[in-house]
């Protein structure tokens, strides 16, 4: 079979994915083997996968494939997240732009139909991307956070927590998204520094109050500073610090809110910073969390001057219906005209923006549903602190995890949206709440409550009536809101195995807890912490053993990937251009765990080159398949045996290193190790060492061994680059099995002595090549080598390799060349290169002098240590011994070099 010049990934990748699927390699059923379970962090169905997902899925696939080749029953569950607010915002936007439909004009059912269509479209794109990337997920297990059983699980959990008293309904200050018209959790708000203005506004004294100000002031007003003049209509008090002498005399006085002349009292609270602004704070409980708290403390009313969409409400009295930012400008103008605006200052402030719609978030009083977090947080914290769950990298995230859980606040879980699980709460005409899994159950509860009420009233009326008229049909209305998307995601590792809806099924018992969670560090609180809470609360067991945090993917300038910057590449394009293996390689090679990844296409280029290197190694070995020596191996490499022993040891050494690195989740380093093993040790050294001269046959035993080595390298690389490795595995030799399921054998112990010989040989070759280079000896010009050594025997097995690698036609030991030659020093041995060509003695001298200088400096530093009494007294014996050896080695080398220099003259 003719192999193409370069590796072409496209059809190969398609072919093998289909093959693996047809063999059901990705499918998993509970059996006797140990389980290795991964649940995919379900991507939001808001759009297509970006580079962050690519990194995540690649890491998971590497772990899954490695586990599969190590005898585990691997189950990787794919899926997607309905992403309540994010998706709803996209659908609303799409409807408006593409169909001219306003959500207001749709019924809930109609809207959900569109939303499901959207989910179908983007969900499928996401799944096809996961497939193209080569992810070995079990496609029979695709889960979605709004699947029927999943929906039921969420409802069940809500009811359960409500019954336990862990869910309550209450009026709180929440973050309000005026575009999506919904509450946001604290985590959904992003703060940005913005230039704003601080306005100083006069509040006049109520004219009905007389002579309250000290005569020295002589003015009947006080000045407050605010960034948000449009909220003054919601003011209910002015507040000063009780220790602020400037204002203590104002106690009991009343002032007027400008423009609307509403009377507000002066109160005192230590919360107020005397040194900020004027030292007086206006209290607007409806629109600021701190004001709200002060309001509660001082029993002040709440005046909400904003509508849900961010326009001013009737309570504002003026500018009703105008957007808050428009109203701000107008109010400032009006204040200025009335002479009530004292001054404006430039001021940098941090404003909260909605993560989903990017509008400025308004603090707003609202009745919402909350989860009490304190009791849930405790066990979740313990799991991590006791290292029952291991976080990687540990140092970086354990502290933040601990801090968040120790200071956790109640979780606002209701959202004023349609896309999501509708809150299972019903209200009767009196506003009484019934929380139940179904409407029937809610009605049942209502009946019980109302019949109790009837019997209560019977007792109190003390009128004995016997005719029990049937209870009237209840008019229950269901809560319109849906649940926060994370209130469904936190059940993910459990409910993908139906562990909430059927708590004792075979699957959940086998696959749970899952093995490892791979996710971005940005959702440690949103998701990771809450999954641990859910695991502990609903199954009394952690959801996963390990958590691997990937960093954020940035562009090569360190900027976040974003659509507006246009620096977020399209995954399918990249796969098309480089191949999935190269994309996986490129993204993994530069991605240490937990560090941000600076994405640069040049690393994909490197991956592509690596593919080609493997391809060419295949071509070389294939050539030998047809051209093997018969009989006693005439023309074969005599030193194949030694090369084989060396590579066997090198391979074992690397296998052990890679295993350790993989167990520590240091995947990037593991890949680097494999890359270097294949490119340098296998291709540049081993294959060159055993390669017969052109046209000559190879020794069959060497050939067979080489194929086995190649197999093992492919196996090591397969988790990282699955397609090309499977392809080469099959092209290398006719096979009945597939690489993807080939089980790792135990790694051997490397032979340390032979590795040392290998290092020596490599150093020798490099030094001689360097000398050739520096002396302008063309590769084709043959040389004779004269080696001065006390250990001639150790050279015997290396001789043939050495002469081939440096193009030497003769190697002589402990003889001096008669003619002038190039002299170099490698280790403790002096080597002469003799050739017919002119040699440049100046270049040699230069090199030798440089080495000499280095060695003398080195010797001084060693001597300094050894002549230091304290060092000799305190250092460990091995360390001293080592220094002595360094000293004698250096002295020996210096002697040889000086001798050489003398010879050259």
Residues within window 313-372 making contact with RNA, judged by CB under 7 A:
349-350
Q: How far apart are CA 536 and CA 543, in angstroms?
A: 8
Return the residues of window 377-396 that contact RNA according to CB under 7 A.
395-396
**Contact letters for RNA, residues 213-252 (x by CB under 7 A):** -----------xxxxx------------------------
For residues 29 and 191, which CB has a smaller minimum distance to RNA in the complex?
191
- What residues numbered 671-690 form the site for RNA, per CB under 7 A? 672, 676, 679-680, 683-684, 687-688
Establish if 882 lies at the interface with RNA (CB under 7 A): yes
Residue with tokens 């009494």: 869
Q: How far is the CB of 506 from RNA (least distance, A)?
A: 39
Q: Which of 858, 891, 894, 901 binds RNA (CB under 7 A)?
A: 858
| Range in contact with RNA (rule: CB under 7 A) among 134-142, 372-380, 615-623, 705-713 | 615-623
- 251-270 residues in contact with RNA (CB under 7 A) are none
Q: Kindly give, in sequence order, each residue whose CB lies less than 8 Å from that of residue 469, ignoring residues fewer than 6 positions away.
A: none
We find the least distance from the C-beta atom of residue 879 to RNA, in angstroms, to be 5
- Structure tokens belonging to residue 69: 């080749």
Residue spans of beta strands (DSSP E) within 205-279: 221-226, 237-240, 254-257, 262-268
When asked if residue 172 is in the footprint of RNA (CB under 7 A), the reply is: no
Residue 830, classed as helix, strand or coil, is strand
List 194, 326, 741, 860, residue binding RNA (CB under 7 A) = 860
Stretch that binds RNA, among 96-104, 251-259, 731-739, 773-781 (CB under 7 A): 773-781
CB atoms within 10 A of CB 85: 27
CB of 198 to RNA, least distance (A): 7
Looking at 75-83, 157-165, 315-323, 886-894, which segment touches RNA (CB under 7 A)? Answer: 886-894
Minimum Å gap between C-beta 594 and RNA is 8
Q: Which of 619, 730, 760, 804 binds RNA (CB under 7 A)?
A: 619
Inter-residue contact 353 to 191 (CB < 8 Å): yes
Smallest gap, in angstroms, from Cβ of residue 685 to RNA? 7
Q: Terminus-to-terminus CA distance in the chain, angstroms? A: 59
Residues 527-586 that bind RNA (CB under 7 A): 556, 558
By CB atoms closer than 10 A (0-12, 13-18, 19+), residue 686 is buried
Cis preceding linkage at 239, omega within 30: no
Task: Please provide residue 71's backbone torsions phi and psi, each rounded to the nearest 5 degrees.
Answer: 95, 5
CA distance 41 to 52: 12
Cβ closer to RNA: 160 or 522? Answer: 522
- Residue 724: CB minimum distance to RNA, A: 11
Report DSSP state, residue 415. E
Find all residues with CB under 8 Å of 247, minimum gap 6, and list them: 222, 240, 241, 266, 279, 280
Closest Cα to residue 643, out of 594, 597, 692?
692
Q: Which of residues 637-666 bind RNA (CB under 7 A)?
A: none
Select from 308-316, 542-550, 763-771, 830-838 the region that touches RNA (CB under 7 A). Answer: 763-771
In 3D, which of 660, 642, 701, 652 has the Cα closest to residue 677? 652
Residue 596 found at the interface with RNA (CB under 7 A): yes
DSSP class of residue 422 equals B
Touching RNA, residues 504-523 (CB under 7 A): 522
Stretch that binds RNA, among 121-129, 300-308, 604-612, 833-841 (CB under 7 A): 604-612
Question: Kind of pairing, strands 822-826 and 829-834?
Answer: antiparallel
For RNA, the binding residue among 103, 609, 730, 760 (CB under 7 A) is 609
The answer to whether 389 and 544 have CB atoms below 8 angstroms apart is yes
CB of 682 to RNA, least distance (A): 8
Specify the stretch interacting with RNA by CB under 7 A; choose among 144-152, 332-340, 483-491, 882-890.
882-890
Smallest gap from Cβ 749 to RNA, in A, equals: 17
Phi, psi at 870, each rounded to 5°: -65, -35
DSSP secondary structure letters along 515-583: EEEEEEGGGIIIIIIHHHHHHHHHTSS-SEEEEEEE--EEETTSPBP-TTTT----HHHHHHHH-HHHH
In this chain, which stretch among 379-387, 400-408, 414-422, 895-903 interacts with RNA, using CB under 7 A?
400-408
Among residues 65, 66, 68, 282, the one that binds RNA under rule CB under 7 A:
282
To RNA, the closest distance from the beta carbon of 288 in angstroms equals 7
Cα–Cα distances in angstroms (integers) from residue 862 to residues 602, 874, 879, in the given order: 43, 16, 12
* Residue from the set 260, 620, 638, 741 that interacts with RNA by CB under 7 A: 620
Report in angstroms how near the CB of residue 129 gets to RNA at its nearest.
23
Which residue among 103, 274, 804, 845 contacts RNA (CB under 7 A)?
Answer: 274
Which residues in the 196-215 window bind RNA by CB under 7 A?
A: 198
Residue 36 parent element (H or E): strand 35-39
CB of 154 to RNA, least distance (A): 24
Which tokens hold the place of 763? 């150093």
Which range binds RNA by CB under 7 A, 143-151, 324-332, 334-342, 667-675? Answer: 667-675
Q: What is the CA radius of gyration of the chain?
A: 38
DSSP 362: E
Contacting residue, 187, 334, 437, 479, with RNA by CB under 7 A:
187
Instruction: Identify residues 57-116 at the interface with RNA (CB under 7 A).
Output: none
Q: How far is the CB of 244 from RNA (least distance, A)?
A: 9
- Separation CA 905–CA 899 (nearest Å): 10
Least separation in angstroms between CB 151 and RNA: 29
Choice from 301, 403, 634, 753 touching RNA (CB under 7 A): 403
Q: How far is the CB of 186 from RNA (least distance, A)?
A: 5
DSSP string, 47-98: S---HHHHHHHHHHHHHHHHHHTTT-EEEEE-EEB--HHHHHHHHHHHIIII
Give, in order, the Cα–Cα distances in Å from 321 to each of 181, 183, 443, 542.
Answer: 15, 21, 40, 51
Question: How far apart are alpha carbons 302 and 863 in whole angstroms?
Answer: 81
User: Residue 638 or 879: which CB sits closer to RNA?
Assistant: 879
10 contacts RNA (rule: CB under 7 A) = no
Task: Name the 3-class secondary structure at 203.
Answer: strand
Q: Which is nearer to RNA, 221 or 871 (CB)?
A: 871
**Distance in Å, CB of 315 to RNA, minimum:** 19
Among 15, 18, 121, 191, binds RNA (CB under 7 A): 191
Q: Identify the burial level of 626 via C-beta atoms within 10 angstroms of its C-beta, where 0-12 means exposed, 13-18 middle and 19 or more buried.
A: exposed
Q: Which is nearer to RNA, 828 or 841 (CB)?
A: 828
Total chain residues near RNA (CB under 7 A): 96
Q: How far is residue 636's CA from residue 646's CA, in Å, rounded to a whole number?
A: 18
Contact 588, 54 (CB under 8 A): no
Closest CB 224 distance from RNA, rounded Å: 7
Please report how close the Cβ of residue 192 comes to RNA at its closest, in angstroms. 9
Cα angle 414-422-111, degrees, rounded to a multiple of 5: 110
* Single residue of 19, 394, 730, 769 touching RNA by CB under 7 A: 769
Among 178, 550, 611, 835, binds RNA (CB under 7 A): 611
Distance CA 424, CA 154 (A): 10
Q: In the complex with RNA, which residue's Cβ is closer, 494 or 582? A: 582
Indicate which single residue of 15, 374, 409, 506 sits in contact with RNA (rule: CB under 7 A). Answer: 409
User: In this chain, which stretch among 299-307, 399-407, 726-734, 791-799 interacts with RNA, using CB under 7 A?
Assistant: 399-407
């Amino acid at each position: 079979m003719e192999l193409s010049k370069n590796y072409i990934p496209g059809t190969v990748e398609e072919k093998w994915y289909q093959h693996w699927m047809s063999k059901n390699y990705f499918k998993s059923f509970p059996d006797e083997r140990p389980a290795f379970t991964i649940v995919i962090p379900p991507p939001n169905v808001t759009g297509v996968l970006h580079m962050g997902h690519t990194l995540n899925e690649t890491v998971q696939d590497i772990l899954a494939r490695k586990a599969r080749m190590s005898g585990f029953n691997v189950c990787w569950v794919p899926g997607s997240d309905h992403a309540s607010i994010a998706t709803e915002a996209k659908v609303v936007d799409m409807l408006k732009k593409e169909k001219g439909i306003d959500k207001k004009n749709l019924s809930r059912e109609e809207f959900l139909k569109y939303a499901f269509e959207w989910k179908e479209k983007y969900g499928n794109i996401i799944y096809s991307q996961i497939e193209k990337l080569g992810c070995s997920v079990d496609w029979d297990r695709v889960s979605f956070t709004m699947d029927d059983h999943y929906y039921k699980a969420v409802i069940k959990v809500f009811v359960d927590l409500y019954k336990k008293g862990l869910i309550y309904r209450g009026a709180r200050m929440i973050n309000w998204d005026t575009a999506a018209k919904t509450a946001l959790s604290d985590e959904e708000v992003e703060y940005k520094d913005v230039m704003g203005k601080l306005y100083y506004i006069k509040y006049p004294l109520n004219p009905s109050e007389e002579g309250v100000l000290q005569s020295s002031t002589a003015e009947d007003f006080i000045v407050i500073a605010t960034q948000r003049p449009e909220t003054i209509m919601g003011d209910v008090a002015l507040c000063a610090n009780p220790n602020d002498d400037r204002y203590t005399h104002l106690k009991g006085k009343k002032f007027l809110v400008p423009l609307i002349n509403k009377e507000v009292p002066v109160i005192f609270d230590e919360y107020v910073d005397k040194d900020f602004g004027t030292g007086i704070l206006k209290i607007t409980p409806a629109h600021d969390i701190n004001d709200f708290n002060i309001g509660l403390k001082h029993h002040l009313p709440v005046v909400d001057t904003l509508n849900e969409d961010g326009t001013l409400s009737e309570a504002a009295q003026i500018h009703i219906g105008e957007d808050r930012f428009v109203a701000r400008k107008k109010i400032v103008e009006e204040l200025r005209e009335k002479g009530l605006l004292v001054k404006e200052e430039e001021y940098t402030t941090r404003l909260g923006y909605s993560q989903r719609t990017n509008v400025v978030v308004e603090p707003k009083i609202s009745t919402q549903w909350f989860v009490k977090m304190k009791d849930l947080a405790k066990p979740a914290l313990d799991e991590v602190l006791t290292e029952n769950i291991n976080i990687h990298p540990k140092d970086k995230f354990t502290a933040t995890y601990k801090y968040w859980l120790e200071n956790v606040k109640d979780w606002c879980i209701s959202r004023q949206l349609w896309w999501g699980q509708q809150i299972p709460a019903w209200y009767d005409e009196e506003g009484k709440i019934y929380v139940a899994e179904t409407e029937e159950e809610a009605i049942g509860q209502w009946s019980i409550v109302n019949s109790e009420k009837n019997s209560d009233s019977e007792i109190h009326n003390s009128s004995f009536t016997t005719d029990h008229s049937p209870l009237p049909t209840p008019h229950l209305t269901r809560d319109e809101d849906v649940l926060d998307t994370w209130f469904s995601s936190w059940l993910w590792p459990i409910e993908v195995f139906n562990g909430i809806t059927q708590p004792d099924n075979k699957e959940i018992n086998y696959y749970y807890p899952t093995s490892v969670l791979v996710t971005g560090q940005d959702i440690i609180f949103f998701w990771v912490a809450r999954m641990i809470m859910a695991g502990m609360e609903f199954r009394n067991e952690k959801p996963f053993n390990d958590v691997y945090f990937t960093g954020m993917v940035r562009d090569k300038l360190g900027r976040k990937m974003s659509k507006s910057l246009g620096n977020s590449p399209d995954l399918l394009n990249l796969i098309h251009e480089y191949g999935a293996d190269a994309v996986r390689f490129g993204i993994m090679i530069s991605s240490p765990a937990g560090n941000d990844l600076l994405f640069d296409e040049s690393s994909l280029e490197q991956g592509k080159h690596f593919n080609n290197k493997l391809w060419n190694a295949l071509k070389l070995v294939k050539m030998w398949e047809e051209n093997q020596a018969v009989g006693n191996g005439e023309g074969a490499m005599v030193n194949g045996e030694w090369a084989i022993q060396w590579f066997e040891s090198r391979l074992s050494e690397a296998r052990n290193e890679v295993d350790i690195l993989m167990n520590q989740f240091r995947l990037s380093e593991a890949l680097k190790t494999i890359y270097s093993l294949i490119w340098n040790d296998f291709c540049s050294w081993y294959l060159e060492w055993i390669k017969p001269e052109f046209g000559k046959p190879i020794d069959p035993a060497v050939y067979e061994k080489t194929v086995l080595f190649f197999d093992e390298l492919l196996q090591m690389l397969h988790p990282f680059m699955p397609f090309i490795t499977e392809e080469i595995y099959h092209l290398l030799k006719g096979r009945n099995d597939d690489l993807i399921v080939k089980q790792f054998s135990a790694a051997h112990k490397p032979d340390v002595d032979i590795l040392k010989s290998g290092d020596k040989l490599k150093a020798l070759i490099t030094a001689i090549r360097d000398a050739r280079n520096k002396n302008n000896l063309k590769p084709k010009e043959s040389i004779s080598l004269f080696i001065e050594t006390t250990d001639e025997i150790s050279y015997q097995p290396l001789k043939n390799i050495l002469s081939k690698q440096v193009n030497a036609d003769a190697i002589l030991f402990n003889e001096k060349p008669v003619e002038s030659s190039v002299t170099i020093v490698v280790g403790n041995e002096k080597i002469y290169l003799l050739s017919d060509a002119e040699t440049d003695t100046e270049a040699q001298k230069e090199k030798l002098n440089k080495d000499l200088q280095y060695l003398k400096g080195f010797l001084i530093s060693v001597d300094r240590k050894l002549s230091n009494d304290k060092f000799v007294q305190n250092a460990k014996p091995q360390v001293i011994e080592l220094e002595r050896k360094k000293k004698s080695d250096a002295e020996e080398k210096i002697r040889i070099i000086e001798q050489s220099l003398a010879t050259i003259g």
